[in-house]
């Protein structure tokens, strides 16, 4: 099957009309269809037909039909979305310029499963500029959104599209970029022999990393894996600063809620929880925190939040937010005790934090208020407001700051380059953290945006600290 390179695709984008549909992007994309894929986070009109992309036979202008999207004719707006994103993704653009004379990913065949946004398109085009071929699916059925119609595909579509990315005649991946571990799980389950040619896995979420460590502990991880979720640049920027902005955006767009004076409980005080708590506190909310880790719990207390058990405040809070990456954090018993009108949402990766399945019982009534907003009504008339059916709030109901995604995407790109080019024996069948030198390199690529100027150590200072004056400046265990 012939692969079309990104270099051939830019003019393909610019030939297309400007209207774009929310459901223009399904989850399975080959490198030959990224011209259409760019339509993430776009606007739609009410005439957008509801035919499943799986039932459509479409081809791009080069005659290639190896993709699954809503409407290939609606891509011009998507290209403009990508061009906007490129302005806030300086590090990826810098990588492209620096790779003009070299292709560190030449021969790489990357299969990705991440959130589908215009920012992801910038990453994909960067990987292509570095020499890779890509096939992509989304890691969340509500991965993309627009202002008027936030509708994802079904669970069946979810797995179908992942399979279409992997099970391709004449094309086999040799690198995996995953967000949540579903792609890795699918290959282990359906195509385990593929791991004979796969050089490594790059994983960026708490949930996916947890799965990898479980595989490693059980002796079932058969390729090296890079845990970029716990890299400093991912933890401190994507998880903290991103969520500090997007939690407010997601809640405002879906519920129009006033934050001042509201009582909010945030479950989990990791980096995501810290960002959410800081934003809500700044808006005048009364914020409670639940936590299992005494270190994070102490941090919450020192930051001025009251540490509680969920059961202690569940009857009085106006908003419940989960940020743990765990399962069954909010269960039916908690949901039964919530006050009328309580807003319930999830900022962790997985949809398992809120026990939504326990709400699908005959005695409860579900009422769709607007896209991604449901009232769940009890027999006595009490109702809670459930957002995105318990899935990730910010990427289901709002947007994520592009600059933060630039940091994360650059970290992913460098991790792919490192694993792909590593000499045999450097990495064993285990889970590794991104080397600190690369973490610092990601940060340094973003500093020019702020006209920031780093101070340089003198030789004497570097010797005194026992450091190379060019870094790394932190030990590998630093987070």
Q: CA 395 to CA 476: how far, in whole Å?
A: 31
Q: Tell whether 381 is in a known binding site.
A: no
SS3 per-residue string spanning 196-208? HCCCEEEECCHHH
Instruction: Give the C-alpha separation, 272 to 276, whole Å.
Output: 6
Residue 274 marked in a binding site: yes
271 is in an annotated binding site: yes
Question: Is omega for the bond preceding 472 within 30 degrees of 0, making it cis?
Answer: yes
Cα gap 366→91, rounded to integer Å: 45
Q: What is the DSSP letter of 147?
A: S
What length is written for the chain?
479
Contact present, 146 and 452 (Cβ < 8 Å): no
Distance in angstroms (rounded) separating the CA atoms of residues 245 and 358: 31
**What does the alpha-carbon distance between residue 305 and residue 163 come to, in Å, rounded to a whole number?**
45
Any known ligand binding at 275? yes
Q: Directed axis angle between helix 402-421 and helix 90-98, to 10°? A: 40
Please indicate if the annotation marks 340 as binding a ligand: no
Task: Name the burial class of residue 198, with classes exposed (0-12), middle (13-18) and buried (19+) by CB atoms within 10 angstroms of its CB.
Answer: buried
What tokens were used for 162? 């992942």
Collapse the DSSP code of 366 into the 3-class scheme (helix H, G, I; strand E, B; otherwise coil) and give the result: strand
Is 140 annotated in a binding site? The answer is no
Determine whether the annotation assigns residue 44 to a binding site: no
325 is in an annotated binding site: no
Q: Is 273 annotated as a binding residue?
A: yes
To the question of whether residue 234 is assigned a binding role by annotation, the answer is yes
Is residue 204 annotated as involved in ligand binding? yes
- Annotated binding residues: 117, 179, 204, 234, 238, 270-275, 291, 394
- Annotated binding residues for NAD(+): 270-275, 291, 394
- Annotated binding residues for substrate: 117, 179, 204, 234, 238
């Amino acid at each position: 099957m012939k692969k079309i390179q990104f270099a051939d695709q830019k003019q393909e984008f610019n030939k297309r009309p400007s209207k774009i549909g929310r459901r223009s992007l399904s989850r399975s994309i080959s490198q030959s269809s990224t011209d259409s894929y760019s339509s993430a986070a776009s606007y739609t009109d009410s005439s957008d037909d509801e035919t499943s992309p799986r039932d459509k036979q479409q081809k791009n202008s080069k005659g290639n039909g190896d993709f699954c999207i809503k409407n290939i004719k609606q891509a011009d707006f998507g290209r403009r979305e990508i061009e906007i994103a490129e302005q806030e993704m300086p590090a990826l653009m810098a990588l492209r310029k620096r790779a003009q004379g070299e292709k560190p990913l030449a021969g790489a065949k990357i299969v990705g499963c991440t959130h589908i946004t215009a920012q992801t398109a910038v990453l994909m085009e960067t990987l292509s500029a570095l020499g890779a071929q890509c096939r992509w699916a989304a890691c969340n059925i509500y991965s993309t959104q627009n202002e008027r119609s936030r509708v994802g595909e079904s669970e069946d579509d979810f797995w179908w599209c992942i399979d279409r990315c992997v099970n391709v005649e004449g094309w086999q991946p040799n690198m995996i970029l995953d967000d949540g571990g579903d792609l890795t799980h699918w290959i282990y389950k359906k195509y385990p022999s593929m791991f004979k040619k796969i050089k490594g896995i790059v994983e960026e979420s708490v949930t996916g990393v947890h799965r990898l460590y479980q595989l490693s502990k059980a002796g079932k991880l058969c390729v090296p894996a890079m845990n970029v979720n716990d890299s400093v640049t991912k933890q401190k920027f994507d998880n903290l600063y991103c969520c500090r902005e997007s939690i407010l955006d997601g809640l405002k767009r879906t519920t129009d809620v006033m934050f001042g004076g509201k009582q909010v409980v945030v479950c989990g005080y990791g980096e995501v929880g810290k960002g959410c708590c800081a934003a809500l506190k700044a808006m005048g909310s009364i914020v409670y925190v639940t936590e299992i880790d005494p270190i994070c719990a102490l941090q919450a207390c020192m930051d001025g939040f009251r540490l509680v058990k969920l059961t202690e405040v569940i009857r009085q809070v106006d908003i419940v937010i989960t940020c743990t990456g765990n399962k069954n954090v909010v269960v039916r018993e908690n949901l039964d005790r919530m006050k009328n009108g309580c807003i319930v949402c999830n900022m962790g990766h997985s949809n398992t934090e809120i026990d939504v399945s326990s709400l699908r019982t005959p005695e409860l009534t579900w009422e769709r208020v607007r896209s991604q907003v449901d009232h769940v009504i009890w027999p006595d008339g009490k109702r809670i407001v459930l957002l995105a059916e318990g899935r990730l709030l910010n990427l289901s109901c709002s947007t994520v700051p592009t600059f933060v995604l630039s940091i994360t995407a650059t970290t992913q790109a460098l991790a792919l380059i490192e694993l792909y080019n590593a000499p045999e024996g450097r990495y064993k069948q285990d889970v590794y953290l991104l080397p600190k030198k690369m973490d610092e390199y990601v940060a340094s690529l973003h500093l020019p945006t702020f006209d920031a100027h780093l101070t340089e150590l003198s030789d004497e200072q570097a010797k005194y600290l026992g450091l190379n004056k060019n870094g790394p400046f932190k030990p590998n265990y630093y987070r």
